[in-house]
Amino acid sequence: MYFAQHYLDCLSQASYLIGDERTGRAVVVDPRRDVAEYLEDAAAHGLQIVGVINTHFHADFLAGHLEMARETGAWIGYGDRAQADYEIRALADGERIDLGDGDGVVLEIMHTPGHTPESISVLVHEHADDETPYGVLTGDALFIGDVGRPDLLASLGATADELGAMLYDSVQHRLMGLADEVRVFPAHGAGSACGKNLSTEKQSTIGEQRRFNYACQPMSQERFVDIVTAGQPSAPEYFVYDAVLNRQVHQPWTGAAVSALDPAVAVEALANGAVLLDVRDQQEFSAGHLRGSLSVSLDGRFAETAGMVLSPSDEVVVVASDGQEEEAVTRLGRIGFDGVIGYLPDVEDVLTDFCEPAGVGHASRLTPAQLADAAGPEGTGVTLVDVRNAGEVDATGTITGALRVPLAELRRRVDEVPRGRPVVLFCAGGWRSSVAASYLRAQGYADVSDLLGGFNAWELAQGGAVTA
């Protein structure tokens, strides 16, 4: 058996290539859109990809099933509750996919609904007659240290209670019914908004999850639903867009090639409604940028965060340094944001030679001491906005008087942030707040800063005495 995990740090997303080296047949599970890596891996090991399995209709990224089928002719499989606008292979509970001609690698389908109604897991048997599977690909049903949230599809007609009841059975009975030694390979790791307590580990075992995963402990269904729905991070708005698009026939990925734009052409595009997305380091952005730009640097959770401040329909002009424009286009494409119309090279030259001074922006970033001075003794000199997720705030508290608007909710709740007075935003360490501050400036807020080092730096400087 050939078994490879392909892990994408930016989206905390895992996909898998599994093949029988004797027959040369292989299947890819939960691929992303840029499929060259899987094709190269398969070719290097003498494998032909004959099938693609998606464990469910993903919400946090656009899966690569159409691209893989186009490149290889592979069938596309889902659990048999799935309905799509393209031809799919409906995989029944207990169905076995023989890659090894009767005595080799076998994949066995296990229905594990709850994160979504059609969710499945895939049992991997190294040999067809093995009593205990080598491992189980759990999709978004079971993570390392967590389980998939059952509340992402509320806007699509599925309630958290209904899905939570399904998830309870899938986790507590079906997956925990496997032997302790079965390896667990999830579709996501730490940082994913598909759960709240995901581990940095890339694999585990059923036995370890039985002992250490809070959601795998014996409990009632009611308690399970309560505990897995509490404290979930806010989901970016694009999740619903991707969940729907993954069901539909859509334009396959065509690559990351993107053209450089003349500054005059870029300015004209911006005047016509395009969005300027600056992917440089946040300190470079702070030192100087084209006014109205959004700042989402490539050194963090770029795609997911860009999806919080952009709309899928936006035309985008990318500002990048060191030839990073193709990386930005690729990472945007992974969440289905294909609206990049070009990039603006040599932005420093543009800022000095092309722009009027009024067109150049500088980002204000305050130290904790500067924030304390600006807020004044009563803390009323500025509007404070905490852009962390609810679970983070519940765990640590926040700065007294701060509005709580998670970054993923800022676009739809921006009117809750008062205009006409200074605004200071903060997160845990300063990365998300820089993004949020650039968004408010692009929305016309005149006096916006963010807190260097975030809440962690503030709490250290204040000794925790000003949290609430």
pLDDT digits (tens, 9 = 90+) for 433-454: 999 999 999 999 999 999 999 9
Return the structure tokens found at 424: 């200071």
| Res. 466: pLDDT tops 50 | no
Separation of alpha carbons 332 and 350, rounded Å: 24
Question: Tokens representing 217?
Answer: 């402990």
Tokens (6 digits) for 304: 């997911």
CA dist 388 and 280 (Å) reads: 22
Using pLDDT thresholds of 50, 70 and 90, give the confidence band for residue 379.
confident
Q: What percent of the chain has pLDDT over 70?
A: 96
Helix (H) / strand (E) element for 425: namely strand 423-426
Domains in the chain: ranges and CATH: 2-245 (3.60.15.10), 263-361 (3.40.250.10), 364-462 (3.40.250.10)
Residue 363 φ/ψ region, left for φ over 0, alpha for ψ in the -120 to 50 degree band, beta for the rest: beta
| Lowest-confidence pick of 147-161, 234-248, 414-428, 433-447 | 147-161
Q: What's the confidence (pLDDT) of residue 82? A: 96
Segment among 42-51, 168-177, 338-347 with least mean pLDDT: 338-347
- Mean of pLDDT values over 229-257: 91
Q: Give the pLDDT score at 266.
A: 85
Tens digits of residue pLDDT in 179-230: 999 999 999 998 777 777 778 889 999 999 999 999 999 999 999 999 998 8
The set of residues, in sequence order, having a beta carbon less than 8 Å from that of 358 and lying 6+ positions away, is 291
Q: Count CA atoms closer than 13 A to 20's CA, side-chain side.
A: 21
What's the pLDDT at 463?
64
Taking the C-alpha atoms of residue 319 and residue 296, their distance in angstroms, rounded to an integer, is: 10
Q: Give the Cα separation of 197 and 213 in Å (integer).
A: 9
Average pLDDT of the residues in 377-394: 90
Contact 452, 367 (CB under 8 A): yes
Residue 313 pLDDT class (50, 70, 90 cuts) = very high
* Residue 154, pLDDT score: 60
Query: In whole numbers, what is the pLDDT of the chain averaged over residues?
Result: 93
Residues 319, 343: Cα–Cα separation, whole Å: 6
Question: How many distinct helices (H) and strands (E) make up the chain?
Answer: 16, 25
167 vs 462, residue with greater confidence: 167
Contact 266, 273 (CB under 8 A): no
Question: Do 294 and 275 contact (CB within 8 A), yes or no?
Answer: yes
Q: Residue 132: what pLDDT? A: 97
Beta strand extents in 252-389 (DSSP E only): 275-278, 289-290, 294-295, 316-319, 340-344, 360-361, 364-366, 383-386
Whether 129 contacts 104, CB under 8 Å:
no
Which DSSP string corresponds to 43-69?
HHTT-EEEEEE-SS--SSS-B-HHHHH
